[in-house]
């Protein structure tokens, strides 16, 4: 173990979760109490619920708990439904400066909260990010399993670095949270951003359970939108594909021109056929090729417009030297602390 007891926040986005919230809050409280008793986390640790513009009694239930037990429960309410990713980001950013580590998890507790102990062990041993990875999907429907696995494979094929079978159940230390805050993108796909942060990472494995109450807030329509979000936010390969197609078609048009010319001279054509065929292929190929070229620039603009940080610092050794960053990193038990400070001060 290298680090002290972290002040932990469990961040739970909730959208119309009145059926799951009471039991989930109780289970999370029990978990937290156990962790505190075992000296694994600081006694200040807490659960933060983010109400993602629910239209049922979710917020009332959160408020009641925060009022009765303000030491353990806190809440944030979004003014309207902005989707799971935004709600989660809101929760993580609201506590990034006041905690040492945050664990994000769903309100339906499909993710096994018993692996949290192992996540904390890994964090205390120096891992800044610990991914919760599903070791089996036996409880998922065939449809969900097939689409989800196809999606992970496709994302990998497109060159996005995402962790296979990891959803948003993960622990992030303060340095990682602060680094995440530097990503200003509006189209949010956290699973793609977190691996970009770098830092030392670890994984814990668990079997995903069934939702114990209520219904999924991710119908196929939302899932598809989310998948498209992931693909278009992290890859410009679809644009490259158009350019390649254009190039192929243009090359084919040259062959078609030769073929049409040969047919023309052999007298096998009706009048006008050769010129129509040639221009059809040639123009089609040129249009696709030009689209690809324009797309390449649009892709560049898209990536630039995200204003992603170009790097995140993990450690600095400025002590005793002339050149130093604008401030002195605060002393912290965890190795990521100093780095986060530099990172927040500016990108050096």
Residue owning tokens 């006694």: 43
The item of ligand UDP, Mg ion, none sharing an interface with residue 111, based on CB under 5 to 8 Å by kind, is none
CB 230 within 8 Å of CB 195: no
Q: How many CA atoms lie within 13 A of 153 on its CB side?
A: 6
**How far lies 210's CA from each of 28, 153, 190, in Å?**
17, 24, 23
Nearest distance in Å: CB 227, ligand UDP: 12
Nearest distance in Å: CB 216, ligand UDP: 3
The residue (of 140 and 182) whose beta carbon lies closer to Mg ion is 140
**The one among 16, 85, 104, 110 contacting Mg ion by CB under 5 A:** 110
Q: For strand 101-104 and strand 166-173, is the pairing parallel, antiparallel, or unpaired?
A: antiparallel
- Cα separation of the two ends of the chain: 31
Stretch that binds ligand UDP, among 11-19, 237-245, 268-276, 339-347 (CB under 6 A): 11-19
Paired strand residues for 102: 9, 172
The residue (of 63 and 140) whose beta carbon lies closer to Mg ion is 140
**The one among 45, 104, 110, 233 contacting ligand UDP by CB under 6 A:** 110
**The one among 2, 27, 98, 216 contacting ligand UDP by CB under 6 A:** 216
CB 296 within 8 Å of CB 240: yes
**How far lies 319's CA from each of 33, 152, 199, 327, 338, in Å?**
40, 44, 22, 11, 12
Q: Give all strands (DSSP E) within 108-217, no chain letters.
A: 129-136, 166-173, 201-207
The residue (of 46 and 190) whose beta carbon lies closer to ligand UDP is 190
The residue (of 83 and 295) whose beta carbon lies closer to ligand UDP is 83
Query: Which tokens hold the place of 218?
Result: 């991710």
Binding of residue 226 to ligand UDP (CB under 6 A)? no
Nearest distance in Å: CB 107, Mg ion: 8
Stretch that binds ligand UDP, among 81-89, 129-137, 261-269, 334-342 (CB under 6 A): 81-89
**The one among 19, 100, 108, 128 contacting ligand UDP by CB under 6 A:** 108
**The one among 127, 134, 217, 334 contacting ligand UDP by CB under 6 A:** 217
The dihedral of CA 290, 291, 294, 295: what is its sign?
A: negative
Contacts (CB under 6 A) with ligand UDP, residues 259-288: none
- Residues 210, 231: Cα–Cα separation, whole Å: 27
The residue (of 106 and 314) whose beta carbon lies closer to Mg ion is 106
Nearest distance in Å: CB 147, Mg ion: 15
CA 147 from chain centre, in angstroms, equals: 18
Residue owning tokens 């001060």: 345
Nearest distance in Å: CB 139, Mg ion: 11
The item of Mg ion, ligand UDP, none sharing an interface with residue 17, based on CB under 5 to 8 Å by kind, is ligand UDP
The dihedral of CA 124, 129, 130, 132: what is its sign?
A: positive
- Residues 201, 168: Cα–Cα separation, whole Å: 15
Nearest distance in Å: CB 110, Mg ion: 4
**The one among 35, 46, 74, 87 contacting ligand UDP by CB under 6 A:** 87
Binding of residue 100 to Mg ion (CB under 5 A)? no
CB 63 within 8 Å of CB 25: no
CB 130 within 8 Å of CB 203: yes
Binding of residue 108 to Mg ion (CB under 5 A)? yes
Q: Which residues of the chain form contacts with Mg ion (CB under 5 A)?
A: 106, 108, 110
Q: Which residues bind ligand UDP (CB under 6 A)?
A: 13-15, 17, 52, 81, 83-84, 87, 106-108, 110, 211, 216-218
């Amino acid at each position: 173990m290298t680090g002290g007891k972290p002040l932990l926040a469990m961040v739970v986005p909730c959208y119309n979760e009145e059926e799951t919230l009471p039991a989930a809050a109780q289970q999370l409280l029990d978990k937290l109490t156990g962790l505190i008793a075992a000296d694994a986390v600081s006694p200040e640790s807490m659960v933060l619920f983010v109400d993602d513009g629910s239209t049922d009694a979710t917020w009332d239930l959160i408020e009641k708990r925060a009022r009765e037990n303000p030491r353990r429960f806190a809440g944030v309410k979004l003014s309207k439904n902005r989707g799971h990713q935004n709600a989660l980001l809101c929760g993580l950013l609201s506590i990034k400066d006041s905690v040492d580590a945050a664990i994000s998890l769903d309100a339906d507790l499909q993710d096994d909260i018993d692996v949290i102990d192992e996540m904390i062990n890994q964090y205390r041993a120096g891992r800044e990010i610990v991914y919760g990875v599903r070791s089996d999907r036996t409880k998922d429907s065939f449809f969900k399993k097939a689409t989800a696995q196809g999606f992970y494979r496709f994302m990998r094929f497109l060159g996005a670095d995402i962790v296979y079978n990891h959803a948003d159940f993960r622990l992030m230390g303060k340095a990682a949270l602060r680094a995440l805050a530097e990503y200003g993108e509006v189209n949010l796909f956290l699973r793609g951003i977190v691996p970009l942060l770098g830092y030392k990472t670890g994984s814990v494995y668990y079997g995903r359970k069934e939702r114990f109450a209520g219904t999924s807030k991710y119908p196929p329509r939302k899932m598809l939108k989310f998948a498209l979000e992931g693909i278009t936010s992290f890859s410009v390969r679809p644009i490259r594909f158009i350019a390649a197609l254009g190039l192929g078609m243009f090359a084919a048009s040259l062959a078609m021109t030769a073929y049409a010319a040969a047919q023309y001279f052999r007298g096998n054509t009706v009048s006008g056929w050769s010129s129509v065929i040639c221009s059809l292929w040639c123009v089609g190929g040129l249009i696709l090729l030009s689209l690809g070229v324009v797309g390449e620039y649009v892709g560049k603009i898209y990536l630039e417009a995200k204003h992603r940080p170009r790097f995140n610092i993990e450690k600095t050794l400025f002590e005793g030297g002339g050149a130093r960053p604008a401030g002195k990193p605060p002393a912290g038990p965890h190795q990521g602390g100093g780095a986060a400070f530099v990172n927040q001060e500016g990108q050096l």
